[in-house]
Amino acid sequence: MSIADIVQRSDTTPGRIFDWTVIALIVISIVMLSIATLPDLSQPVRSFLTIAEIFVLALFALEYCLRIVTAPRKFGYIFSFYGIVDLMTIVPFCLTLGAIDLRALRILRLFRIIRILKLSRYSQAMSRFREALALAREEIVLFSAVTAILLYLAALGIYHFEHAAQPEAFSSVLHSLWWAAVTLTTVGYGDVYPVTTGGKLFTFVILMCGMGIVAVPAGIIAGALYRVNQNEDREKSL
Amino acid sequence: MSIADIVQRSDTTPGRIFDWTVIALIVISIVMLSIATLPDLSQPVRSFLTIAEIFVLALFALEYCLRIVTAPRKFGYIFSFYGIVDLMTIVPFCLTLGAIDLRALRILRLFRIIRILKLSRYSQAMSRFREALALAREEIVLFSAVTAILLYLAALGIYHFEHAAQPEAFSSVLHSLWWAAVTLTTVGYGDVYPVTTGGKLFTFVILMCGMGIVAVPAGIIAGALYRVNQNEDREKSL
Amino acid sequence: MSIADIVQRSDTTPGRIFDWTVIALIVISIVMLSIATLPDLSQPVRSFLTIAEIFVLALFALEYCLRIVTAPRKFGYIFSFYGIVDLMTIVPFCLTLGAIDLRALRILRLFRIIRILKLSRYSQAMSRFREALALAREEIVLFSAVTAILLYLAALGIYHFEHAAQPEAFSSVLHSLWWAAVTLTTVGYGDVYPVTTGGKLFTFVILMCGMGIVAVPAGIIAGALYRVNQNEDREKSL
Amino acid sequence: MSIADIVQRSDTTPGRIFDWTVIALIVISIVMLSIATLPDLSQPVRSFLTIAEIFVLALFALEYCLRIVTAPRKFGYIFSFYGIVDLMTIVPFCLTLGAIDLRALRILRLFRIIRILKLSRYSQAMSRFREALALAREEIVLFSAVTAILLYLAALGIYHFEHAAQPEAFSSVLHSLWWAAVTLTTVGYGDVYPVTTGGKLFTFVILMCGMGIVAVPAGIIAGALYRVNQNEDREKSL
């Protein structure tokens, strides 16, 4: 069992421990970044967050070195997408004292969770999902187009009905699109809603027609996933 | 490769480029129409939008001429549904100087997106969807009837419970239908909601019964689409 | 073609026309009943509604007579569930001049729509739905129980967290159930929502766990309907 | 038919009656607990609730004794999970006069509903559900991870766009997570929503991408349940 096996592979126990440690570190660092945006933090907490962040960055730097050392093709790793992501996420470490604020790059750590998921046994579930998307591509594109047209027609109609009564909320077709999106996804904040009888009738009709259309893409994806699983079962049983 | 092949067909590269150019032009013109409804537009922007609209109209007129010239049966095209739509969408070009405002006709351009989608390879996904609707027609009609009855009963019940407490919001059964639609589709704007204990209990019961019924039609469509896909797979494998 | 064939059967053209005429009359009478609850109706409109209502009642009375005359077993019809419903819906006709207000009985007309749907070819879709419910009965009961427990736990938890901060909105566990139902069905009126950090965290957790559980019954029904359809296809192809 | 058969088994008529009696008692006691939290209860109602609670506790104590007496291995029952739950739910009976308030333990009675459901014929539906969860485990974990990342990105983005305009509602990334959860689950209370153009555009994009992803897990569970049912059918027909 060499260091390369631990860092690069996910099918051995030490490799899995390494992967989960990195994921845990990423999650901890993201939680800390979120806490740091809280207002009214006391000075000791701020200090602790800064020190913990430096500590996590040091561990990421160590991981980066380990990945370079153990990579079969070193330059291939350094200039690969994930190699650059790994470098980006530790850059703030080198520049915290400089004038340029590169801390926003730390959000790139989320990409690294995806990388690790890809390596591990979730890669199979991911490829199943990609296959399902390929199977249902045409239906999804078609329904997305229909959804887009419906959204636009809803915005256009409500603009026609409500513009005179609520010039603030429905000041243009583009502003009405906000209402259309919030309504057809059934979020319904309540910041904009029709008040005229015509607008309410129009919303009624749009809701009755639109519910089905907007909900169908999720059903299509679920159905396609099911087909992929069934094909797999059939291949196994042969 | 003649002009007719480019304009009328969708299975060649130039034909596809032509189709996507027209779709892009339609989308651009619709976005411009929406921007034109924005309040507080500066004069230069208004001028630009007018000029761009004239330019797009000229292109649509050119496309219309090309379609007539390349149509196998010229009168057949001119008096077909899409031929009339094509003409309607360029009519404002000829009448911008006249007194009658025919600009509302420009919204017909949306129909042309559907025409092009129908021509192209999405026609297969569309016919699959039509087949699925045919398979599930009886279930959809039945559930739509049940949903309509449920909507009406909900409106009637809430009118009974809330009319005395909120005579403004629930002033009649028809006004209560607005509440029923907004509630059963789970939009829930928050402009009308029950305040009495009876009304809240009634809403509780309606929500528990209604959720399933309202969500089922989308599930039926997804299931029917799945069956159509499965039948296709079976035919291919034979 | 006798009158009996027209009134009692649904598989002939005159029979279907009779059925649809009755459904149309029911829908018209229900729409008129709803309009009659509108405030600020002018006197001519009120008069028209009263006359139209008497006219519709006369037609229903005629239909009732026809059904008795053409019934194979007259007393069997009169004392059957739908015979009583038919009678109930015309009772107000006889009592409009009396002191007792039996007009609420007119809502029973909705039952008659169900009767006619049962007679016609939608009976097959209905029996399919009943079969699907039978297939999925245990899952639906189980999930309904889990949903009920979840609703109760959510109400209990939010009462614990929010009672001190909002004694009005969350004044008891029973009042909190209103919040739980409005939240877990994703209606979200916005009349009650957590304001404390603890309440928001609790809602966050409940939403993440609850979404799936609450949405599953609809998925189960759709899946069971699909199985029923598939079994039918298999029987046909044998 | 001995007492043991009645208490321990669920496949005989007396056993089922015993089970449903216990479930009814649990439900009644929980409803009474909820009513007891109502404000403004009159003194006679309070007294009745206290007496009824003592009566129910006595019945639960009796049931506990019966279960010990009839258990094949007495100590095995007393120290099993459900044995301890049974004891916990009657402990308040013994301690109502003491100083320590153990009444919160009464909520454990909910666990006992699960125990009885497990014993009875719903155990099959439960094991089907567990099997479905096992089948779809990888997809559910993957989608939950994607949902979590999406929630976080939504919170981060809206914090970026809205923090300046609404420092109260979006005071930190953690506070913005509340908005993200309420929006992506389509609850949409309306207590926090974007007001800037950037924030609205961002919400629009998040809603369009997010709807599908958040709805997929429920679809996956339904699909997996369907597969489990189909496998069962196949085994029966062999």
What is the ipTM metric for this complex?
Answer: 0.82
Asked if the model's pLDDT at residue A215 lies above 70, the reply is no
The pLDDT of A36-65, averaged and rounded, is 85
| Total-model pTM | 0.84
How far off is chain B from A199, nearest CA to CA, in Å? 11
Q: How confident is the model at residue A92 (pLDDT cuts 50, 70, 90)?
A: low
Closest-CA residue of B relative to C109 is: B149
Q: Which of A102-111, A183-192, B77-86, C35-44 has the lowest mean pLDDT?
A: A102-111
How much is the pLDDT for B220?
Answer: 76
For residue C216, list chain D residues with Cβ-Cβ distance below 8 A: 218, 221-222, 225
For A227-235, the CB contacts below 8 A with 24+ separation are: A227/A132, A227/A135, A227/B226, A227/B229, A227/B230, A227/B233, A228/A128, A228/A131, A228/A132, A228/A135, A229/A128, A229/D135, A229/D223, A229/D227, A230/D227, A232/A128, A233/D227
* Interval D162-175 mean pLDDT: 89
pLDDT surpassing 90 at residue D135: no
Mean pLDDT over the full length of chain D? 80
Report the CATH fold assignment for A135-237. Helix Hairpins (1.10.287)
Alpha-carbon radius of gyration of chain D: 25
**CB–CB of A190 and C186 under 8 A?**
no
pLDDT digits (tens, 9 = 90+) for C178-214: 999 999 888 889 899 999 999 999 999 998 877 767 6
Q: Write phi, then psi, for B67 (nearest 5 degrees).
A: -65, -40
- Residue in C33, C189, C225 closest to B193 by CB: C189
Q: DSSP string of C28-68?
A: HHHHHHHHTT-SS--HHHHHHHHHHHHHHHHHHHHHHHHHH
Q: Which chains touch A (3+ CB pairs under 8 A)?
A: B, C, D
Residue D137 tokens read as 């485990």
Please name the residue of chain A whose CA is at the shortest distance from the CA of residue C185.
A186
**HSE-up (13 A, CA, CB side) for residue B180:** 29
Classify D3-122 by CATH class.
Answer: mainly alpha
Q: Does the pLDDT value for residue D22 go beyond 70?
A: yes
The proportion of chain A whose per-residue pLDDT surpasses 70, expressed as a percent, equals 84
What phi and psi, each to the nearest 5 degrees, are found at residue A120? Answer: -80, -170
Instruction: Output Rg (C-alpha) for chain C, integer angstroms.
Output: 25
- Asked if B22 and B8 count as a contact pair (C-beta separation under 8 A), the reply is no
Query: Tell me: the pLDDT tens digits for C15-69?
Result: 888 888 888 888 888 888 788 888 888 889 888 888 888 888 888 888 888 888 8
Smallest Cβ distance to C219: which of B208, B219, B227? B219
CA angle at residue D165 from D159 to D170, to 5 degrees? 35
pLDDT of residue C97: 47
Nearest to A149 by CA among A222, A219, A206: A206
pLDDT of residue A199: 92
Closest chain A C-alpha to D230 CA, distance in angstroms: 11
CB–CB contact B138 C125 (8 Å)? yes
Q: How far is CA D213 from CA A127, B212, D208, in A?
A: 16, 21, 10
Sign of torsion over alpha carbons B221, B226, B231, B236? positive
Given a cut of 90, is residue D160 above it in pLDDT? no
pLDDT bracket for residue A97 (50, 70, 90): very low
What's the angle, vertex CA C212, arms to CA C211 and CA C213, rounded to 5? 95
CA angle A88, A91, A97 (to 5 degrees): 155
Q: How far is CA C89 from the centre of its chain?
A: 18
A 10 A CB-CB count for D181 gives: 21
DSSP code for A84:
H
pLDDT at D98 over 60: no
List the domain boundaries for chain C: 3-122, 135-237
For tokens 């699959």, the residue is B128
Nearest to C189 among B139, B167, B188 (CB): B188
> CA gyration radius for chain B?
25
Of B186, B189, B190, the CB nearest to D186: B186
Distance from the Cα of D221 to chain A's closest Cα (Å) equals: 9
Which pLDDT value is given to residue C87? 79
Average pLDDT over chain C reads 80
Which residues of A have a CB under 8 Å from any CB of C? 186-190
Question: Do the beta carbons of residue B93 and residue B33 sit within 8 Å?
Answer: no
Mean pLDDT of C227-231: 78
For position C214, what pLDDT does the model report? 67
How large is the angle between the packed helices D13-35 and D109-119, nearest 10 degrees? 160
Burial state string for D103-137 with b = 16 or more CB within 10 A and e = fewer than 16: eebbeebbbbbbebbebbebeebbebbebbeebbe
In total, the C-beta contacts within 8 angstroms joining chain A to chain C are: 7
pLDDT value of residue C99: 47
C-chain CB neighbours of D181 within 8 Å are: 203-204, 207-208
Query: To the nearest whole angstrom, how far is the Cα of D75 from the nearest Cα of chain C?
Result: 30
Q: Both tokens of residue A101?
A: 């604020």
CA angle C66, C68, C72 (to 5 degrees): 110
B2: alpha, beta or left? (left if phi > 0; alpha if psi -120 to 50) = beta
Please give the average per-residue pLDDT across C7-12, as a whole number. 75
- Closest Cα in chain A, distance from residue D117 (Å): 29
Q: Are the beta carbons of A219 and B214 separated by less than 8 Å?
A: no
- Tokens in use for C134? 């039978």
Considering A42-51, B120-129, C104-113, the range whose residues carry the highest mean pLDDT is A42-51
For the record, the structure tokens of A195 come out as 């008040």
Digits of tens for pLDDT over chain B (238 positions)? 677 777 777 777 888 888 888 888 888 888 887 888 888 888 898 888 888 888 888 888 888 888 888 888 888 888 887 788 777 777 754 555 444 455 566 666 676 676 666 656 567 777 888 888 888 888 888 888 888 888 888 998 898 899 989 998 898 888 899 999 999 888 889 899 999 999 999 999 998 877 767 667 767 777 777 778 777 777 777 6
Residue D16 sits at φ, ψ, to 5 deg, of: -65, -40
